[in-house]
């Protein structure tokens, strides 16, 4: 008896870990399983597809760099959606705030071309965050004051942002030439690629640093993740955010302003989405064009859900989705599978995470097997 | 200029544009009345539009396309029903997943079946039901021209939608189904204790909304546009939900609200040739329905109260 | 042959045995009281009979035939009806629509509303339960809503009627009326199970009494063979002090002063219509009244959750009429909310986080917007110790605590702040005897420490045993004030229902909206 009792704490810790990380992990695996099934039914070879996918995302430093490149805005978009969720808000329109952030970075980046990087980069980042927050502000106010559902309003604002960008790149801030796009940022506003930070000899000595197109925006994303984690855990702002998310009534009773917390949460969410737009523009495109956001805001929803809104979990979830995106090109090229399969897998991930029961059933079955196997 | 804008065409276009919105909005009404939020309507429409188009491309029969579109809507909504009723998933999250799934699956199948992304080949569309001509001079002819132009120039689903709006509205207040539906969204436990299955009632409602969403997709592809384009529902599912709110969770209300959106959109299209006169970029016209949706949701909310138990998973203890 | 018989029914929830081999019989035309504390397993047992829960073991027999009841539909078909503690009525629908729901008359799915209305009228005529068949439920007061519930069961053809805590929301007068209805139902051939935890009701209405404790039947008796003290001992398993002795405490300075306060309800009507009173240090003032007579709005106005329309509220002479909930906490108003799960605590927060609510911005728990986790944890451990919260650690989630322990967390938080004024709204609702005693002792300890206590309660027993003064609230006004030793339950009940000189006295009892809420 005493022996089995000693086992209990260890088992408990294992259980908590399984419950915390297990469900998302199993969800991701299940989603890829169903994705394979779809590929197989469609006449593709899933094994070849995933092999190509892996090659394209983790096959070498350059490929891994591509994964990081894709994960960078996804971390920020995931944080944006996740922070909203923690306040009970579903910022389905992160995409729009992202566009506004990117737009501001593109405009300021051109205007500030002559200034030193040390000035330009922070100004662009802060400006983009403010632009994203501003775009979330009206839905936030409408939610707080009138109760207009943020799912509808932020979604609509996202469509409005799309046409705003379309108009601007076709007219007012269009660069000379045929293509409807803005002029490139000045060098001072660009986030340098990671390999450019090192000398030739260093890169030769340490080849894993040759991370291809990956840029320093990843540092911004990682810092933001840690910051959000600290805010949620150790500040009154985060405490009130979580309290309102769980129970607006109890929060109100405890003297927390639900309206003000809602506005803050949605604006912070918008600011994070705006940063996501900024790193895309400053690190990858160096300009803005129609639909430059490429659905990153929506993928952020899947990222946040997969991570169960945990800021550090979001890093891992974004890496997974980043890898899927980075490898999808190779997959199409080598195994012929349309890249859209990635969207399907994302949707399935959301399903499986949300419908925890299915996943729990799998986990429990495994546990039962493990327990009966141990006996 | 005014006489060029205010034409029978304008109102006919309003009716036409309102149709998919109204179908989805009525679907949303039925679904929310049962206590289930359905933001998946966007994706359901896309599924319906795609499979409807694919069927017409394969068989050449628009009617078969409509049937398949409706079936596709029902099947997809069954996923939403399973998730939100049986697995008690967050309904908004499940809806989001379906919307994403719709983008993925339709895009994937476009490439698999037609070898390219983007737009399909044009299909045979459903034609207007009536073919009256209107010519000649005089007041009576003018009136006839208006009646014919506004009301008698439409394709079958446009008329079907009006019938559906009236029929579901009547049914909601006069039938056993309607009474139970209205009760379900308010106090599911009371329905259970009256000996009626909550799960079954909600399943039926979600499947009905799926059928209506599928039909809305069929209207878009097989009646209006004549092709399938990736993501061409463009937020209509969300606008439909706003119309449902504006219509105060009633089918006729949803229809009338959709008509308002339809009119705004039709006006926007009508005004485009005069762009040079007023010098407004087209994008501002494109924004109009979305801005209107925000205004409507913000303006009506707070005064309009939805079903009490909407969005709350029901657990049979 | 009994109309209903249960044999060895067992129901296990995760961690609790709710029913442990319970056997129970109900004879025809019999009123059996199922007596027990909150959490004794009475409702679980009857929910099993009504098909809302399924038993893990055991048998149910109706008219001697073994039956399986898997849904309410089957229970209804077997002639079993149930009036739930929380009414199962759909507020926006009419009386008729609610009653016929599930068995709507008509053909081809179209409801014949004329026939439905006629049948409802017939039944209400036959049993003397008069009601307007076209009224909306939301417009009816609680007593009439209960009547609709009973009519619903009768319409469905119930021969066995289960009443789950039917008197919880009624005044003594309405309770007497209900008892009369129950007896007439029995005369018409029905059999009744009456679930309650109130001793005097059992003595008044039951033919036979079945007592449950901790999920098991611990005894059976008849009113003629026992008394309230004996029943209480059976119910709790030990001797119970039915009244608490209070030390005399001298009234200190005036702590709370409310003047001509007018507060609107959510529907925009005057819920509190010009109320004035004072509470001084060392005094417990109780507001007695039927639920929905403005108590909730009064409390919300005092603690800063609702803006008063006019009038004033002062704490120790300082005006707090327009104070927010936050500043109200800061000046020393503590609040034990009536709805523990909704407003009292956050179920997904752990105990430490719950104990921090309201103090999460102030030193020593927070500085410059940063929460000092170490301070919070040591505070939490101290509170757990001081208030005897039964938990292995401060990291346990609120949702995994029992009702009594949840309330201890709320009280620990509110009293740990050392307030000037404690506003306690129905602080013992749904608690077992042990927890009720704890809460009562805490309230009296505050009084002895010279603090002011405003107690809002629907339980007259509680009001009478704790209060120094009693204010009776009816339709948003204080209609009567008593010193504690001048009042008894009967008199309080009389004033609570608008007796004693208000406009409703003259109307005949049948049509009287006695005890009506103000929201009409």
pLDDT band at B304 (very low <50, low <70, confident <90, very high): low
Render B216-269 in DSSP notation, one character per residue. Answer: HHHIIIIIIISS-BTTTTTTHHHHHHHHHHHTTT-HHHHHHHHHHHHHHHHHHH
B140 CA: distance to closest CA in chain A (Å): 44
Residue pair B32/B307 in contact (Cβ under 8 Å)? The answer is yes
Helices A94-111 + A61-86 axis angle, to 10: 120
Class of residue B148 by CB neighbours under 10 A (exposed 0-12, middle 13-18, buried 19+): middle
Query: What ipTM is given for this predicted complex?
Result: 0.86
Nearest CB partner across the interface for B175, out of C71, C76, C111: C111
Of A236, A249, A257, nearest to C360 by CB-CB distance is A236
Mean pLDDT of the A171-195 span? 87
Q: With H, G, I as helix, E, B as strand and everything else as coil, classify residue C18.
A: strand
Q: Is C93 on the interface with B (CB under 8 A)?
A: yes
Q: What residues of chain C, 315 to 354, have a C-beta less than 8 Å from chain A?
A: 324-330, 335, 337, 339, 342-349, 353
Helix (H) or strand (E) holding C470: strand C469-474
Nearest to B186 among C92, C104, C109 (CB): C92
pLDDT digits (tens, 9 = 90+) for B144-159: 888 888 888 899 999 9
Q: What is the pLDDT of residue C162?
A: 94
Domain that holds residue B218: 2-300
Element (H, E) at B2: helix B2-5
Structural domain contains residue B307: no
Q: Which parts of chain C have pLDDT scores under 50?
A: 502-520
The DSSP result for C310-352, as a single string, is EEEEEETTEE-TT--HHHHHHTTEEEE-S-IIIII--TTSBHH
Summary mean pLDDT of chain C: 87
Q: Which range is most confident: A86-100, A109-123, A191-205, B287-301?
A: A86-100
Domain annotation covers residue B254: yes
Q: Is the pLDDT of residue B165 over 50?
A: yes
Q: Is residue B309 part of a domain?
A: no
Tell me the domains of chain C and their CATH numbers.
4-236 (3.40.50.300), 244-332+419-520 (3.40.50.300), 342-418 (no CATH)
Position A310 scores a pLDDT of 93
Contact B92 A151 (CB under 8 A): yes
- Residues in chain B with CB shorter than 8 Å from the CB of A341 are 104, 108
CB-based contact C337 A253, cutoff 8 Å: yes
Chain C CB contacts of A235 under 8 Å are 369-371
Which of B174, B193, B196, B310 to probe the C interface (max C CBs under 10 A)?
A: B193
Would you say C475 and C498 are in contact if contact means Cβ atoms under 8 Å apart?
yes
Q: With an 8 Å Cβ cutoff, are A236 and C337 in contact?
A: no
Nearest residue, CB atoms, A346 vs list B87, B100, B111 = B100
Question: For position B180, what pLDDT does the model report?
Answer: 95
- Closest residue in A to C343 (Cα) is A250
Q: Report yes or no: A277 and A162 within 8 Å, Cβ to Cβ.
A: no
| C135 touches C120 (CB < 8 A) | no
CB pair distance less than 8 Å for B191 and C102: yes
CA C133-C135-C136 angle, 5° bins: 125
The Cα of A146 is separated from the nearest Cα of chain C by a number of Å equal to: 15
Contact B167/A at CB under 8 A: no
Residue C284 CA to residue C423 CA, distance in Å, equals 10
Judged by CB atoms closer than 8 Å, whether chains meet at A164 and B105 is answered as no
pLDDT in tens, A261-296: 999 999 999 999 999 999 999 999 999 998 898 889
**Does B194 contact C97 at a Cβ distance shorter than 8 Å?**
no
> In the predicted model, what is the mean pLDDT of residues A170-197?
87
Query: Contact B294/A38, CB-based, under 8 Å?
Result: no
C354 near C413, Cβ under 8 Å? yes
Tell me the nearest-neighbour CA distance from B105 into chain A, angstroms.
Answer: 6
pLDDT band at A8 (very low <50, low <70, confident <90, very high): very low
Q: What is the pLDDT of residue A370?
A: 55
Q: What is the pLDDT of residue C503?
A: 40
Using one digit for the tens of pLDDT, what is the confidence trace for C138-167? 888 778 899 999 999 999 999 999 999 888
B183 to chain C, minimum CA–CA distance in Å?
A: 6
A344 contacts in chain B (CB < 8 Å): 101, 104-105, 108
Half-sphere exposure of B316 (CA within 13 A, CB side): 21
Q: Which of C72, C103, C110 sits opposite B192 (nearest CB)?
A: C72
C325 contacts A253? CB cut-off 8 A: yes
Residues of B in contact with C103 (CB under 8 A): 194-195
Residues of B in contact with A148 (CB under 8 A): 294, 297-298, 301-302
CB-CB: which of C75, C93, C113 is closest to B183?
Answer: C93
Say if B315 falls within a structural domain.
Answer: no
Task: For residue B89, give the CATH number of its domain.
Answer: 1.10.3470
CB contact under 8 A, B189 and C88: yes
Q: Does A103 touch chain B (CB under 8 A)?
A: no
Q: Contact C271/C263 with Cβ under 8 angstroms?
A: yes
DSSP-assigned letter for residue B127? P
What tens digit of pLDDT does each residue of B209-234 get?
999 999 999 999 999 999 999 888 88
Cis peptide leading into residue C364 (ω within 30°): yes
- How many A/C residue pairs have CB atoms within 8 Å? 70
- Residue from B294, B300, B311, B312 to probe the interface with A (highest A Cβ count within 10 Å): B294
In this complex, is the C-beta atom of C101 within 8 Å of any C-beta atom belonging to chain B? yes
> For residues A208 and B72, what is the distance between their CA atoms, to the nearest angstrom?
49
Report chain C's terminal Cα–Cα distance, integer Å: 47
Q: Provide the pLDDT for residue C264.
A: 92
Q: How confident is the model at residue A369 (pLDDT cuts 50, 70, 90)?
A: low
Domain ranges of chain A: 61-328
The answer to whether C371 contacts A237, with C-beta atoms less than 8 Å apart, is no
Q: How far apart are CA A373 and CA A209, in angstroms?
A: 45
User: Nearest CA of chain A to the CA of C359: how many Å?
Assistant: 8
CB-CB: which of B175, B194, B317 is closest to C110?
B175
Q: How many domains does chain B have?
A: 1
Least confident range from A31-40, A219-228, C366-375, C478-487: namely: C478-487
Closest residue to A234, CB basis, from C327, C329, C370: C370
Q: C419 in contact with A at a CB cutoff of 8 Å?
A: no
CA–CA min distance C337, chain B (Å): 23
C-alpha pair distances (Å), B133 with each of A279, B3, B145, C262: 59, 21, 8, 69
Q: How far is C501 from chain B (nearest CA, A)?
A: 38
Contacts of A136 (CB under 8 A, 6+ apart): A91, A93, A97, A154, A157, A266, A267, A269, A270, A271, A273
Tell me whether residue B316 is in a domain. Answer: no
- What pLDDT is recorded for position B138? 82
Q: Which of A230, A240, A251, A255 to mutate to test the interface with C (most CBs of C within 10 A)?
A: A255
H helix or E strand, kind and range, residue A99: helix A94-111
Q: Decide if B102 is inside a domain.
A: yes
Is residue C83 within 8 Å of C153, Cβ to Cβ?
yes
- For B32-66, the pLDDT digits (tens) are 999 999 999 999 999 999 999 999 999 999 999 99
CB atoms closer than 10 angstroms to residue C449: 12
The band of B309, judged by pLDDT with boundaries at 50, 70 and 90, is confident
Find which of A167, A329, A350 to mutate to test the B interface (most B CBs within 10 Å of its CB): A350
Query: Of A309, A327, A316, which Cα lies nearest the Cα of A222?
Result: A316
Residues of B in contact with A301 (CB under 8 A): 96
C88 interaction partners in chain B (CB closer than 8 Å): 187, 189-190, 193-194
pLDDT tens digits along B40-49 = 999 999 999 9
* Distance of residue C369 Cα from the nearest chain A Cα, in angstroms: 5
């Amino acid at each position: 008896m005493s022996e089995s009792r000693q086992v209990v704490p260890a088992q408990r810790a294992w259980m908590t870990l399984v419950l915390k990380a297990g469900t998302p992990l199993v969800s991701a695996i299940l989603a890829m399983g169903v994705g394979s099934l779809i590929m197989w039914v469609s006449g593709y070879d899933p094994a070849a597809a995933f092999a190509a996918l892996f090659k394209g995302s983790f096959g070498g430093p350059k490929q891994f760099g591509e994964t990081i490149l894709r994960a960078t805005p996804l971390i920020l978009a995931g944080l944006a959606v996740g922070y909203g969720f923690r306040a009970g808000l579903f910022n389905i329109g992160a995409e729009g705030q992202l566009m506004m952030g990117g737009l501001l970075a593109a405009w300021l980046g051109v205007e500030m071309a002559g200034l030193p990087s040390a000035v330009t980069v922070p100004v662009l980042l802060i400006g983009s965050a403010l632009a994203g927050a501003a775009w979330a502000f009206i839905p936030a106010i409408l939610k707080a004051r009138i109760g207009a559902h943020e799912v509808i309003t932020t979604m609509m604002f996202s469509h409005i942002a799309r046409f705003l960008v379309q108009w601007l790149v076709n007219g007012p801030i269009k660069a000379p030439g045929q293509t409807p796009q803005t002029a490139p940022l000045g060098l001072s506003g660009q986030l340098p690629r990671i390999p450019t930070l090192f000398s030739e000899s260093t890169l030769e000595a340490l080849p894993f640093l040759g991370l291809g197109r990956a840029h320093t925006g990843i540092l911004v994303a990682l810092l933001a993740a840690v910051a959000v984690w600290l805010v949620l855990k150790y500040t009154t702002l985060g405490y009130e955010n979580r309290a309102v998310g769980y129970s607006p009534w109890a929060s109100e009773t405890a003297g927390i302003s639900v309206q003000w917390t809602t506005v803050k949460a949605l604006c912070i969410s918008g600011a994070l989405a705006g940063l996501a737009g900024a790193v895309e523009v400053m690190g990858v495109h160096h300009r803005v064009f129609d639909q430059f956001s490429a659905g990153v805001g929506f993928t952020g929803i899947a990222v946040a859900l997969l991570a169960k809104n945990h800021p550090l979990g979001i890093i891992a979830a974004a890496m997974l989705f980043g890898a899927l995106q980075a490898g999808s090109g190779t997959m199409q090229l080598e195994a012929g599978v349309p890249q859209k399969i990635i969207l399907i897998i994302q949707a399935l991930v959301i399903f499986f995470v949300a419908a925890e029961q299915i996943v729990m059933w799998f986990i429990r079955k495994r546990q039962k097997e493990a327990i009966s196997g141990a006996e | 200029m005014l006489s060029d804008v205010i034409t029978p065409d304008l109102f006919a276009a309003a009716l036409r544009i309102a149709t998919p919105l109204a179908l989805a909005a009525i679907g949303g009404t039925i679904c929310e009345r049962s206590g289930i939020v359905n933001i998946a309507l966007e994706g359901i429409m896309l599924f319906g539009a795609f499979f409807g188009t694919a069927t017409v491309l394969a068989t050449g029969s628009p009617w078969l396309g409509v049937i398949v579109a409706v079936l596709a809507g029902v099947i997809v909504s069954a996923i939403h029903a399973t998730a939100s009723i049986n697995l008690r998933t967050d309904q908004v999250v499940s809806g989001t997943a379906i919307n994403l799934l719709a983008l993925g699956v339709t895009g994937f199948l476009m490439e698999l079946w037609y070898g390219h992304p983007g737009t399909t080949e044009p299909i045979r569309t459903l034609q207007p039901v009536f073919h009256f001509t209107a010519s000649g001079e005089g007041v009576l002819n003018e009136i006839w021209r208006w009646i014919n132009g506004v009301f008698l120039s439409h394709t079958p689903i446009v008329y079907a939608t009006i019938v559906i709006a009236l029929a579901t509205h009547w049914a909601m207040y006069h039938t056993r189904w309607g009474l139970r539906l209205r009760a379900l969204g308010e106090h599911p436990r009371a329905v259970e204790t009256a000996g009626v299955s909550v799960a079954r009632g909600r399943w039926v409602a979600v499947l009905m909304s799926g059928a209506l969403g599928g039909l809305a997709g069929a209207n878009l592809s097989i009646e209006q546009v004549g092709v399938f384009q990736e993501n061409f529902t463009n937020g209509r599912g969300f606008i439909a939900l706003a119309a449902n709110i504006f219509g105060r969770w009633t089918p006729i209300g949803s229809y009338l609200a959709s008509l308002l959106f339809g009119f705004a959109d039709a006006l926007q299209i009508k005004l485009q040739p005069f762009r040079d006169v007023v010098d407004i970029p087209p994008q501002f016209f494109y924004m109009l329905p979305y801005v209107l949706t925000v205004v409507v949701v913000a303006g009506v909310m707070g005064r309009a109260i939805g079903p009490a138990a909407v969005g709350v998973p029901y657990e049979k203890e | 042959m009994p109309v209903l018989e249960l044999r060895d029914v067992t129901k296990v929830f995760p961690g609790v045995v709710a029913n442990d081999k319970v056997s129970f019989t109900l004879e025809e035309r019999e009123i059996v009281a199922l007596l027990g504390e909150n959490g004794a397993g009475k409702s679980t047992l009857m929910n099993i009979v009504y098909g809302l829960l399924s038993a893990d073991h055991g048998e149910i027999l109706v008219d001697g035939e073994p039956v399986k009841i898997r849904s309410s539909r089957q229970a209804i078909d077997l002639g079993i009806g149930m009036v739930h503690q929380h009414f199962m009525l759909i507020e926006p629908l009419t009386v008729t629509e609610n009653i016929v729901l599930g068995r709507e008359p008509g053909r081809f799915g179209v409801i014949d509303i004329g026939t439905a209305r006629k049948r409802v009228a017939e039944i209400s005529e036959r049993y003397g339960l008069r009601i307007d068949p076209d009224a909306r439920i939301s417009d009816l007061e609680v007593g009439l809503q209960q009547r609709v519930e009973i009519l619903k069961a009768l319409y469905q053809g119930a021969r066995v009627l289960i009443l789950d805590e039917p008197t919880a929301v009624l005044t003594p007068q309405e309770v007497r009326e209900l008892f009369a209805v129950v007896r007439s139902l029995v005369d018409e051939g029905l059999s009744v199970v009456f679930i309650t935890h109130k001793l005097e009701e059992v003595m008044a209405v039951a033919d036979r009494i079945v007592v449950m404790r901790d999920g098991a039947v611990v005894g059976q008796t008849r009113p003629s063979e026992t008394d309230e003290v004996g029943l209480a001992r059976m119910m709790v398993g030990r001797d119970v002090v039915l009244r608490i002795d209070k030390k005399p405490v001298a009234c200190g300075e005036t702590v709370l002063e409310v003047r001509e306060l007018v507060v609107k309800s959510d529907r925009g009507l005057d819920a509190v219509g010009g109320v004035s009173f004072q509470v001084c240090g060392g005094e417990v003032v109780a507001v007695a009244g039927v639920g929905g007579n403005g108590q909730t709005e009064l409390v919300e106005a005092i603690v800063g959750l609702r803006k008063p329309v006019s009038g004033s509220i002062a704490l120790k002479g300082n005006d707090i009429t327009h104070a927010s909930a936050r500043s109200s906490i800061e000046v020393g108003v503590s609040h034990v909310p009536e709805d523990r799960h909704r407003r009292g605590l956050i179920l997904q927060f752990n105990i430490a986080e719950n104990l921090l609510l309201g103090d999460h911005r102030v030193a020593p728990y927070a500085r410059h917007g940063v929460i000092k986790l170490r301070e919070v944890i040591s505070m939490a451990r101290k509170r757990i110790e001081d208030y005897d919260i039964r938990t292995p650690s401060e990291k346990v989630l609120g949702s995994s605590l029992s009702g009594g322990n949840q309330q201890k967390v709320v009280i620990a938080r509110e009293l740990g702040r050392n307030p000037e004024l404690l506003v306690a709204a129905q602080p013992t609702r749904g608690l077992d005897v042990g927890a009720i005693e704890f809460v009562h002792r805490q309230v009296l300890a505050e009084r002895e420490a010279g603090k002011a206590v405003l107690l809002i309660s629907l339980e007259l027993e509680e009001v009478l045993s704790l209060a120094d003064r009693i204010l009776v609230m009816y339709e948003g006004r204080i209609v009567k004030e008593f010193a504690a030793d001048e009042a008894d339950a009967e008199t309080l009940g009389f004033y609570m229902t608008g007796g004693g000189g208000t406009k409703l006295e003259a109307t005949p009892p049948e049509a009287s909206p006695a005890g009506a809420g103000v929201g009409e």
